[in-house]
Amino acid sequence: MTDPRTGSRWILGDKFEQKYPHLDSIDALWNKKWKFPCERSLYPFHDGKYEDFAPIFETLIKKGIHDGYSVEYTKEFLPTCEDLVKQADKLKDDGKKQEAIDMYLRACAVYRIARFPYINSDLKREAYDAQKKAYMKAASLFECPIEDVHIPHTAGTDKDEGKEVPLYVRFPKDASKSKPCPAVILMCGLDGHRPDNTVRSNEFLERGWASVIVDIPGTADCPADRRDPTSPDRLWTSILDWMEQDGRFDMKKILCWGLSAGGHNAIRAAHTHSKRLAGAVGQGAGTHHFFSRAWLEKAKDHEYPWTALPALREKFGYVSEDEFMDKAQKDFSLVETGVVNQPACRLLLINGTHDGLMPVEDSMLMMEYGTPKEARFFTGLLHMGYPPANGSVYPWMEQVMATAS
């Protein structure tokens, strides 16, 4: 595949061969990549404050701590997190509800960056557990609270799969068994987990939809077997069966939205569960080329905050990075495994054309198989097509919900 505009095999062009400058040091990561979005509370700093992060990164720079996978990196964030939680607790005790919510969410934003890029140690696990605890303190104060639900993994296997699936579930005020509501199953990503999606669940609420937020296989608290490419199918079956039995969901109006690594899951689910979903959104998704050694050897040095291979190797359950690069395409490609030859529900593919982590070619490739797809790609933008991507996702969802029956 060669792009006639660049002469490159990849639409990414010359950037494919580059090592992105933020990977050189913690100083470069902060000043060349993260400082700008942090100042504006953009991804991945939603709900955070610049004044919480800047001193931490100044310390990391001074100490020369660059490896985000390390315990030393995570340690620098925790005192700030704990202080913010204490402030939030006091605000809650003083009856200052909204101020307490905002402060808890600030703590959660710092915890999130502390556990980046992957939960690979006891300390990062502790940071995630503390984030969830702080988040549920905030979520319990929401006008429409978030329920921390653990459902039985009824479709799971006895081998390497947990017995329960943890979900964050949020309903509109008037949802009931006599008035079931539409819902979105939000499939999280490689480093974005259940407590990181308040903005999206708020958007769903505004439209009268429930949200079911779930960690994907190989990440956070997900019980599914990370090494088994078919384990997501069992996960979605357990979740959809529970939703149907619960009675508060309108099962004719269920969408799924997969973010980044979750996009792979959404596209797979659009095919494996086509009769149970009204539609699916695969955003920033890897489907085939992403899993190849040719892509991964370069993509590891692109826009991910640190080299991506350690996180991806663990997420997909391989012993070594070489094993991952050699075997992942055969094991997980939706083309190699034939998933894309099945009928699909309505499927929207979203990404930036200069996504350096998961190639836009993987979304385009889906057009060549099975059921016709819909797509919106953003010229020159990076992974996920941010910031304008959601401006296409929500209207599409609204249209699907309106016509589903």
What would the pLDDT profile of 312-331 be if each residue is shown by its tens digit? 999 999 999 999 999 999 99
> In 148-230, which residue ranges form alpha helices assigned H by DSSP?
198-206
Of 47, 215, 355, 362, which residue is the catalytic one?
A: 355
Of 201, 231, 238, 260, which residue is the catalytic one?
A: 260
Q: Which CATH topology does 146-405 take?
A: Rossmann fold (3.40.50)
Residue 246 is a catalytic residue: no
Question: In a structure prediction context, what are the per-residue pLDDT tens digits for the chain, which is 405 residues long?
Answer: 454 333 458 999 889 999 999 999 999 999 999 999 999 998 899 999 999 999 999 999 999 999 999 999 999 999 999 999 999 999 999 999 999 999 999 999 999 999 999 999 999 999 999 999 999 999 999 999 999 999 999 999 877 788 999 999 999 999 989 999 999 999 999 999 999 999 999 999 999 999 999 999 999 999 999 999 999 999 999 999 999 999 999 999 999 999 999 999 999 999 999 999 999 999 999 999 999 999 999 999 999 999 999 999 999 999 999 999 999 999 999 999 999 999 999 999 999 999 999 999 999 999 999 999 999 999 999 999 988 999 999 999 999 999 998
Omega cis (within 30) before 166: no
Residue 383 is a catalytic residue: yes
Of 22, 66, 288, 383, which residue is the catalytic one?
A: 383
Fill in the amino acid letter for 12: L
Domain boundaries, the chain: 21-141, 146-405
Structure-token pair, residue 221: 């608290």
Output the pTM of the full model.
0.95
57 within 8 A of 30, measured Cβ to Cβ:
yes
Residue 355 is a catalytic residue: yes
- Tens-place pLDDT, residues 172-231: 999 989 999 999 999 999 999 999 999 999 999 999 999 999 999 999 999 999 999 999
The DSSP code sequence of 31-73 is IIIIHHHHHTT-TT-TT--HHHHHHHHHHHHHHT---TTSHHH
Q: What percent of the chain has pLDDT over 90?
A: 93
